[in-house]
Amino acid sequence: MASPSEELGELLAALKKRSGHNYEWLGRKVNASKSTVHRYCTGRSVPSEFGPLERIARTCGADSVEIAQLFRAWERATAALPGADGAAPTRASSREQAGGSRTAESSRDPGSDAGAGAPAPAPAPADQESGEDLGSAQIRRPAEIAGNGGELAAPAPAPGTEPDPEPDPEPSPPAELLPALRSPAVAAVFRLARRRGRRVVVLGAVVALLLGAVGIALAVAPGDEARAGPLGPPLASGANWALSAVFSPDEQLMATSNRTGEVRLWDVSDRGVPRRLPLVLTGPLDGVTSIVFSPDGRMLAGGDWRGTVWLWDVTDRSRPAVAGRSLAGHTGPVWSVAFSADGLTLASGSDDRTVRLWDIASAEPTQLAQLTGDTAYITSVAFSADDRILAAGGNSRVLLLWEVTDRTAPRRLRPEVSLPAPGYAVAFSPEGRTLAVGDGDGAVQLLDLTDPKAPRLLGRPLTGHTNRVWTVAFAPDGRTLASGSFDRTVRLWDVADPARPAPRGRPLEGHGGWVLSVRFAPDSDLLASAGADRTVRLWSTP
């Protein structure tokens, strides 16, 4: 019977064989030696983190189901190796952690087969080589790693088997520097040094020793000690695109929806180990593009591609009402739903070029108003924190704003706000004075709505995405903005001063398809993203 590490190797080897790539080519793609890739594919060694295997698998074209299968095999393999009980694992070459570069993704674009009713999005850009760190793929098991990372060595191969290719030589830091390496700043110096060669390693060692000798504390720039990163492996959304992921107000539940109409609930009371509840909320027969919890957490609303708005009673978390109630009226796909802050009204935006307001407070929800203001479809709606303003964006360069103090007779605000590109995503800051708009050119615009009758652009556009921005969300404290794009990345922005916004760290990478939803938990730094790669990912954004 094959050992767990051999079973892991067989899975990876099968992906490699299917891709037709050799060890050397894969090694170049994931910044690892060919001997490292060979040992992983033969099960002779197991990385202490899942990231290296995920990078290799994705380079070979693995889908989310195969990634999940590989992850389970990696867990079994690491649990079966020496050191899995907390003892220090055997350490191999310091370069064995397969890479620090982003891998080239599969050439098949998960978003290339847009469904019926979906607007034809701009094509995603071709994959590019990059030297950026794919930190989003790293999944650490603290109890199994006693040292500073490294690789868990699998049992020795049987006599007579083919020896491994000779590993590339690599200088190691002197033993007397190990205590100093616990400093994040010194560790960063060594990671850089390893990329530059032996001379820089020696120079870095000397500098670190001198700093340690004189007792100088290395200062770490703000934000470096607690960078944003993934929480655990990606969560499978089902058989098709993950379209939305949102948290309940008490952060105990997460709801997700996908392109086949499935709406699922997850227990996220332990954010590091989300647990899918054994039920699926029913009703929709097609993609549920947007879902949202009511402010009191007792109701979940969603809009589907057949033009129906759905309501589910989730008051009893142990036995939620599985069957949803439907609200009819739209004649095209519903792209966005949003509750007012008081929880009495639901807004829905649709492909039929209308925004509709629904009275949710009554036993039988009814339509309060139908709003039109442009000739383009509506992809995003949002209420301001004080419930005075409703914003809507879509396939138009005109931002739509209404005063909705009287929800039976909303009033369109003038003058119109013209955007440089269609604004597909809108979100209000928690205090309600700043509106973020994600556009078709990959930029995010910030607008000051202190005076709703005279909105004005704030600062320069936030640029960095290379394709359409489809979703935006503010953190609970209003100091961070998240954006998700068809370029397959999530970006964080420092908007503490909206007039001087700035990028926050590197893009959050890991999705293998368009990012279609980003949402923060109501009272923490937890972020959920959903993508066309059929996965939902959780991120810590301290």
Using the CB atoms, write b or e for 368-384: b if 16+ within 10 Å: bbebebbebbbbbbbbb
pLDDT digits over 425-479, tens only?
999 999 999 999 999 999 999 999 999 989 999 989 999 999 999 999 999 999 9
Question: Does the pLDDT at position 105 exceed 50?
Answer: no
Mean pLDDT over each residue of the chain, to the nearest integer: 78
Confidence category of residue 322, pLDDT binned at 50, 70, 90: confident
Residues 6+ apart with CB under 8 A from 225: 184
pLDDT digits over 347-378, tens only?
999 999 999 999 998 889 999 999 987 778 99
Give the separation between CA 514 and CA 279, rounded to whole angstroms. Answer: 27
- Amino acid present at 488: R
Orientation angle between helical segments 4-19 and 34-42, nearest 10 degrees: 120
Give the separation between CA 124 and CA 111, rounded to whole angstroms. Answer: 8
CA-CA-CA-CA torsion sign (362, 365, 368, 374): positive
Q: Please compute the mean of the pLDDT values over residues 303-332 and round it to a whole number.
A: 90
Q: Where are the alpha helices (DSSP H) in 124-197?
A: 184-196
Per-residue confidence (pLDDT) for residue 355, from 0 to 100? 97
DSSP state of 476: T
Measure Cα distances from 239 to 278, 311, 397, 512 in Å. Answer: 16, 23, 34, 15
Q: What angle do CA 465, 466, 470 make, to 5 degrees?
A: 60
What pTM value is reported for the model? 0.62
pLDDT digits over 252-310, tens only?
999 999 999 999 999 999 988 899 998 889 999 999 999 999 999 999 999 999 999 99
DSSP state of 81: S
Confidence category of residue 321, pLDDT binned at 50, 70, 90: confident
Could you give all domains of the chain from N- to C-terminal order, each with its CATH number? 229-540 (2.130.10.10)
Per-residue confidence (pLDDT) for residue 408, from 0 to 100? 95
Give the separation between CA 159 and CA 376, rounded to whole angstroms. Answer: 70
Would you state the structure tokens that stand for residue 116, as one six-digit string? 């019926």
Per-residue confidence (pLDDT) for residue 82, from 0 to 100? 66
* HSE value, Cβ hemisphere, 13 Å, CA-based, for 318: 0
Would you state the structure tokens that stand for residue 325, as one six-digit string? 């109630």
Whether the CB-CB separation of 474 and 436 falls below 8 Å is answered with yes
Whether the CB-CB separation of 427 and 408 falls below 8 Å is answered with no
pLDDT digits over 391-425, tens only?
999 999 999 999 999 999 999 998 888 999 999 99
Confidence category of residue 64, pLDDT binned at 50, 70, 90: low
The number of residues making up the chain comes to: 542
Alpha carbon 256 to its chain centroid, in Å, reads: 13
